[in-house]
Structure 1
Amino acid sequence: MSRLTYTVATILPSDSDTYEAPDKALGKDGEAPSAEEADEFIQGETILGSGPYEMTDYSPDQGATLEAFDEYWGEAPKTSTVKLQFFESAAQMTNALRNGEIDLNINDLGPAERSALENEDGMVVEAGAAGRIRYIVIDVTQEPFKDPEVRRAISAGIDRQRIVDEVFEGAGEPLFSMIPPSYEASDAAPIENAEGDVGGEKIKFDLWYPLNKYGDTEPDVAETIARSLNETGDFDVTTKSSDWAAEYASNLNTGTYGAYLLGWYPDYIDPDDYIEPFYHSQKTFIGFYGDEEMDQLISDEQAETDDAARKEIFGQIQEMAGEDMPFIPLYSEVVQAYYGEGLCGVENSIDVALHARWYMIGRDNC
């Protein structure tokens, strides 16, 4: 069985005082570091950090240990030692959490494990804003996907709520834009209202999904999408799969797959991180789409400093995305943390980018 890595922490107590996260990282002059100062943190192939912890132990198969960094420029973290432990399955990790072998899990649990923990006495569940998204990549250079009418019809035929309810037992949100609703980037919902006409002819295609990448629910996600489309009478969809490491990842952007499932979570907390990597013809990491008007809109939103004006541009981008439909958003995953009583600060330690701020978590010292 291939090894899956889960973000899990065993929290050990610290005698430090309450820690307040700084508003920003500071450079030598007390302001945000310049590009030159940032370059000083990279020496050859060694990257130097300035965080509250240092890694004192790491094993690819077992986990890692983080110890409070004595020379950290800020206040000491609430927890002096954080142990990250890796598991082969969500079931093993859930049992460890229930037995008190670990203290905290953030995300990466399946519906069965989530349901079991939510009904467990003494278990605390924190749910945050959705930031991780799932979507379908469409190769717009292939038949039958060259026609945007077909792409819009595929999007309209997918019952997103059915995926959330049947596969994830309600733990998620239907997604009608590549930007999750938690960002409130615009009031546009063009994909939700998009319609397409397949011309009375049943469209046949394969929908690909990866194995050993997004968890045990991936086959169910693909099959639910296929059933939704086939039940419209306009499509004949067959699901196919390949192993992520052995085949799937290397076949992206090669034309091997005409329609395939992928996922994304942000590198930084801004709606642009859900737009430029997908829709900009020169800066995209995935897909087969390019349009000069879209490129200009993206440049405009990146340069705009007025929030209201920028929101309007994002609306135009999403309207155009709904017309062209090179990507089909499916659902967003809610950030969820599970932990036993006694920990504090967890609710403030995670964000939509799934960054876990271990230094904010403590035991009765928040």
Structure 2
Amino acid sequence: MKSGVAAGTLVTVAGCLGEDPDQDEFTVTLSQFPDTIDPLDHITGDYFDVYDHIYEPLFDFEPGEGIFPRVVDSWEATEDGVTELQLIDDVVFHNGDELTAEDVAWTINRTVDPDLGVPSPIGTFGLGSITGAEAVDETTLQVMHSASAGLAEFEYGNYARAIPRDWAIDNHDAENEAISGSDAEDFNGTGPYEVVDFTSGEEIVLERFDDYWGDEPPFERVVFNADGESSGRAAALETQETDLTINILPEDVDTVDAADGVEIRDVTSFRTVFCPMKNTVEPFDSQEFRQAMNYAVDNQGIVDTVLSGFGEARGQPVSPGINGFNDEIEPYAQDVGMAESLVEESGYGGAEIELQAPQGRYLNDAQIAEQVADQIDQLDNVSCDVNIGDFEVVSDANQAGVDPDEFEIPFYMIGWGVITGDTDYGVQGFFRIPDNPNRTFEDEELSDAILESQQIDDPDERRAQLEEVNRLAHEKAPFVYLHTQESIYGIKEEIQWDPREDETVYLWEMEQ
């Protein structure tokens, strides 16, 4: 059993407002504004940055350290496939309703049950081993999982939230539809901030929730807005229109560094950028051809030039700091001769392929995609074009699965942030075969290795098996591996805050 003081990290930051009354308000500029108000109907970092302050996590997750009590006071694996969670008392939603175990259980079930609520990518990827939940009494619930308790802990420790069941059903028919609306009253969580003003697509304004169960967060009022251009976000910081900006591009770093009172802070993230190759179509059904595509690309050169060093070349699906990262695996080094030789071995000499990539979703993504396609195109025996489009096109391709009748794009660029801190989150959605129509790669050996890891209880044995999963993923080359990108933020100098590897921004971790 694990237990502790549920107030967690808030104790260390509460009430640190300094002497500047203007800092009662804090503005955050995102790279994209949430296009849904349902906290379960998304899996994108910008959305979490907003909604975690309204629908707070049940646990505090510290990258590399594990999960710690927050709204959950203690938890224990009571039998195979079942973990019991005990909630703290006197937690209320913003509308005044008390939080109950039934609310948490219903929210989890709404996330993982495709017949309840809305199809949720959180259920597919974030809570992949969670099969359901059930309230035992007012403050106790059981979470059922198909995998080991250790894996389940990584998942619910990062993705468990709570929506008030009766409010959501009565006001939003949330058992059948996504929660939607255009008013502040359409948000209702237990977090340290409540919504007081909402302009869909533009701005959401939060204020401290007076009846919050924990310690007072550091700012009275918080404004979230968005600018899709890095230069615009940097300019807003320079002109003091915002206090924190995310996803600054390398070419805008100097602008922020030169401005008065603000600075750049960066950290190597848990987000790896790569190019999946669906192996149910030619020429990607050949392991030799997929390896050739990796040898054709100069990962380190792209990091040094296009990213100005704000990244690390990678040769496996996850980054250092993730449970199961295999530190014996080196990135593929560019070797044009090897690439051309492997293409000939594959039998696909003369292949013509196209890379689909987004623009504005990842650091310099379009420029990177153009470099990747150009380096592949320079092979004597492969032609490669690039098509730059909206991120939704890439996202749809990633969700389409491996049935050739269901997708048109077999080769595309995407990034994946392993925010649970565990390799399983970075591989199972892509490679696991059973009950996974969204997989992007069809290989029984790799799938079986993942399934085996999910059933191992001993943490050291499970870590070793995950390292084997990453070794197989390197060898079989389901992706053209690129890099782990850095998270680059611009922030007011006086704010004491260290960026997190999982890309999460918690205002309660700030002080000044």
AA in 1 matched with 2:509 = M
The structure-2 alpha-carbon separation of the partners of 1:209 and 1:71, relative to structure 1 and needing over 3 Å to count, comes to same
Instruction: Please report how far the alpha carbon of residue 251 of structure 1 lies from its aligned counterpart in structure 2 after TM superposition.
Output: 4.6
Tell me the CA shift for residue 69 of structure 1.
1.4
For 1:39-58, what aligned pairs fall within 5 Å after superposition? 39=105, 41-42=162-163, 43=165, 44=169, 45=174, 48-58=188-198
Q: Call closer, same or farther: CA 1:219–1:23 in 2, change over 3 Å.
A: closer
Aligned to 2:355: 208
SS state at 1:183 partner: coil
For each residue in 1:139-178, what CA deviation from the matched residue of structure 2 results, as whole angstroms up to 9, or x when unmatched?
2111111111000111121111122122111111111111
Pair 1:24-2:69 in alignment: yes
Distance 1:89 1:205 in 2: 33
Name the SS of the counterpart of 2:189 in structure 1: coil
| TM-score (ref. length: structure 1) | 0.82
- The answer to which of 160-169 and 191-200 deviates more is 191-200
1:59–1:269: structure 2 CA closer, same or farther, 3 Å change rule? farther
Q: 1:340 maps to which residue?
A: 492
Counterpart of 1:66 (choices 206, 209, 227) is 206
Match of 1:132 among 271, 279, 282: 271
1:169-189, Cα deviation, whole Å (9 max, x unpaired): 111111111111232622331
Match of 1:227 in 2: 374
Between the aligned partners of 1:63 and 1:309, the Cα distance in structure 2 is 47
Q: What CA distance in whole angstroms lies between the structure 1 residues aligned with 2:436 and 2:234?
A: 37
Query: Are 1:152 and 2:304 an aligned pair?
Result: no
Cα drift, residue 244 of structure 1: 3.7
The aligned amino acid for 2:191 is G
The count of corresponding residues between Structure 1 and Structure 2 is 345
Q: What is the deviation of 1:220?
A: 1.1
Equivalent runs, 1:163-178 vs 2, <5 Å: 163-178=302-317
Output the CA distance in 1 between the equivalents of 2:198 and 2:305: 38
Q: Relative contact order, CA 8 A, sep 6+: which one is greater?
A: 1
* Residue 37 to residue 126, structure 1, CA distance change in 2 (3 Å): same
**Corresponding residue of 1:199:** 344
Whether the 8 Å contact between 1:110 and 1:216 is mirrored in structure 2 is: yes
Aligned to 1:38: 104
Q: Which amino acid aligns with 1:138?
A: M
Structure 1 residue 288: Cα displacement: 3.7
| Of 31-40 and 277-286, the range deviating more from structure 2 | 31-40
Query: Is 1:310 equivalent to 2:449 in the alignment?
Result: no
- 1:178 partner letter: P
Once residues 315 and 262 of structure 1 are traced to their aligned partners in structure 2, the CA distance between those partners, rounded to angstroms, is: 22
Q: C-alpha root-mean-square deviation of aligned residues, in Å?
A: 3.1
Q: Hey, what's the Cα distance between the residues in 2 that align with 1:329 and 1:286?
A: 20
Q: Tell whether the 8 Å contact from 2:272 to 2:417 is kept in structure 1 after alignment.
A: yes
Q: Quick one: distance in 2 between partners of 1:210 and 1:329? A: 14
Question: Alpha-carbon deviation of 1:76?
Answer: 1.0
Cα offsets for 1:4-24 (capped at 9, x unmatched): 616699xxxxxxxxxx99932
Query: Partners of 1:203 and 1:312 in 2: how far apart?
Result: 40
Q: Tell me if the contact between 2:358 and 2:413 (Cα under 8 Å) persists in the aligned partners.
A: no
Task: Flag the 1:304–1:216 CA change in 2: closer, same or farther, 3 A.
Answer: closer
Give 2:453's aligned residue.
301
Say whether the 8 Å CA contact 1:277–1:285 is kept in structure 2.
no
Between the aligned partners of 2:443 and 2:484, the Cα distance in structure 1 is 26
Shifted more, 89-98 versus 229-238: the winner is: 229-238
Code of the aligned partner of 1:189: I
1:275 is paired with a residue of what secondary structure? helix
CA contact (8 A) 1:171 1:333 kept: yes
TM-score after normalising by structure 2: 0.60
- The secondary structure found in structure 2 opposite 1:320 is helix
Q: 1:184 to 1:164 in 2, by over 3 A?
A: farther
In structure 1, which of residues 253, 265, 269 is the aligned counterpart of residue 417 of structure 2? 265
**Secondary structure of residue in 2 paired with 1:76:** coil
Q: Percent identity?
A: 21
SS of the residue corresponding to residue 198 of structure 1 reads: helix
For residue 224 of structure 1, report the CA deviation from its aligned partner.
0.7
> Is the CA contact 2:249–2:488 (under 8 Å) kept in the aligned structure 1?
no
| Counterparts of 2:259 and 2:488, CA distance in 1 | 15
Among 69, 74, 82, the residue aligned to 2:222: 82
- Which of 348, 352, 357 lines up with 2:501 in the alignment? 352
The partner residue of 1:280 within 432, 440, 443 is: 432
Alpha-carbon offset, residue 265 of structure 1: 1.7
CA distance in 1, matches of 2:258, 2:438: 40
Task: Report the equivalent of 2:328.
Answer: 188
Q: Give the unaligned 5+ runs of structure 2.
A: 1-29, 34-45, 50-59, 62-66, 76-84, 88-100, 107-161, 180-186, 401-405
Could you tell me whether the CA contact under 8 Å between 1:208 and 1:261 is conserved in 2? yes
214-223 or 335-344: bigger deviation: 214-223
Structure 1 position 272, deviation (Å): 1.5
SS of 2:68's partner is coil
Separation in 2 of the partners of 1:122 and 1:67? 25
Q: Which amino acid aligns with 1:308?
A: D
Aligned mates of 1:202, 1:232 — CA distance in 2: 10
Q: 1:5 aligns with which of 29, 32, 46?
A: 32
